[in-house]
Structure 1
Amino acid sequence: MQIQDHPAAAGTNSGAPVGDKHKRDRQDGDGATPDLSSKRMRPPGVRSIGWALVQAARLHRARTGDRLAKLGLFAGQEQVVQALAAAGTMTMGDLAALLRVRPPTASKTVTRLAALGIVERRAESGDGRVVRVQLTEAGLAKAEAIERIQEEVEAELLDHLDKTDRRRLRKLLRKAARGLAEAAGASGQVTEADAEIEAEDETEGLPA
């Protein structure tokens, strides 16, 4: 008795496994199997301004964070130290407004810095509800080290920008930050420092 061929093999004479047919079906028109790994992968939102801003901020934060870690600080804490170094003493409300963050956020950072002996808090004379913050001697030393770190990272950030581009970028980022602050209800006000810088830009002929 003769044994008949299996239906799946009917019409073939190459003896190739059935799986080879499916492989051939996956081939493109010229007979080559598509190589998905060769396609250029583009992250979602890569063309948005927000995406570019986040990437630049992330890299800037990482570069700053690496250097701050050697001082025993985390990225973000240096902003409080720098603000106090410039102002001498500030209320918690003024500090939060300057940094454009909510008061609880500023308070949490100050608490951590106080535990490190970098800042100290004192109740306002005559009104215990108002708390003023200032740097300790150790905090002043940290402020000087932070300033050097900021100069190093700033030079890396702006290395490919000329003077005009730097002023324009600074101005645009201030406007963007103000818009987000207004949307979040945190603080839409123009600080005195912002007003001074904007006045300087206008004097130098930088377009609004």
Structure 2
Amino acid sequence: MDFEQADAINQAIRLLSLRHRARASALLAPLGLHPGQEALLLELARTGPMIKAQLSEALGCEPPSVTLMTRKLEASGHIRFRAVPSDKRASVVELTDSGKALATQVKQLWCALAEETIAGLAPDTVASLPDTLNTMTANVDSRRRAK
């Protein structure tokens, strides 16, 4: 691949990432959420209660980031912690009723953001987009290379 093509690809990915995050941030702000917190809420809504280490793995972020997000979401009443009887060091994170309602709002917001993002793309392109993006993510996943 020559530099011009590589630059065009890398710039497009960089700009999409920046602008998508900014748009997501603008949409999440009225709900009292910051980028990343919605992913945690959606993961708990999808899978049910889990310990922070599992959340960290599922979200692809570092444990301190999950700790910060869970503290903020607990303070706002959207999640709660429950002790794990078999492991005194671990606690299970679960959605409260407020968190479940918020996750429903986030799902609606996420649908709207996706529709904005894919506007003008052909249906077959849209259908293949998740696989394409997941492959690209795996190609640059530093956790995969570190193992």
Smaller-chain TM-score range?
A: 0.7 to 0.9
- Find the aligned partners of 1:140 and 1:96 in 2 and give their Cα distance: 20
Cα offset for 1:187? 8.7
**Higher relative contact order by CA 8 Å / sep ≥ 6: 1 or 2?**
2
Name the counterpart of 2:10.
50
User: Unaligned regions of 5+ residues in structure 1, if any?
Assistant: 1-44, 189-208
186 and 89 in structure 1: CA distance in 2 versus 1, 3 angstrom threshold: farther
TM norm structure 2: 0.86
Question: Are positions 1:160 and 2:132 aligned together?
Answer: no
TM norm structure 1: 0.62
Name the counterpart of 1:36.
none
Question: Are positions 1:174 and 2:138 aligned together?
Answer: no
Name the counterpart of 1:89.
49
Alignment of 1:106-185 (within 5 A): 106-181=66-141, 183-184=142-143
Cα offset for 1:185? 5.7
RMSD: 2.4
Instruction: Tell me which stretches of 4 or more aligned residues in structure 1 moved more than 6 Å.
Output: none
| Aligned-pair identity (%) | 27
Question: Are positions 1:61 and 2:21 aligned together?
Answer: yes
Cα offset for 1:133? 0.6
Cα offset for 1:184? 4.0
What one-letter code is carried by the residue in structure 1 that aligns with 2:73? L
Q: Work out the number of aligned pairs and report it.
A: 144
Q: Which has the larger Rg?
A: 1
What one-letter code is carried by the residue in structure 1 that aligns with 2:55? L
Query: Larger helix proportion, structure 1 or 2?
Result: 2
What one-letter code is carried by the residue in structure 2 that aligns with 1:54? R
